[in-house]
Structure 1
Amino acid sequence: MRAFVCVPWLDVDPDAVLPGHGRVEDLLAGLDVSGVRRTPWSLCG
């Protein structure tokens, strides 16, 4: 699992669960998020 996937996933669904692996929040706790950066970009107009 990659932090750049988990961080925005939790933004969209804070209760997300990856079947067979557990809560995404718990998975993220074991990952290095230091390289994950938010951008000012938006997909909504």
Structure 2
Amino acid sequence: MYAIKIYKNPDDNEIAWTTFMFSVNYLMLLFVALLVDHYWLITL
């Protein structure tokens, strides 16, 4: 949805900043999940 909002209104810095923060938080969560998966040995 943010990409469409940016496409329709490219001069709105607030939408761009919100999109950037969402992507940074998403990547952080993804890398934390990868680290947890790597170091947390689950034996079934």
Q: Which structure shows the higher strand fraction?
A: 1
Q: Which has the larger radius of gyration?
A: 2
> Which structure is richer in relative contact order (CA contacts within 8 A, separation 6 or more)?
1
Q: Which structure shows the higher helix fraction?
A: 2
Q: TM-score range by the shorter chain?
A: under 0.3
TM-score when normalising by structure 1 = 0.22
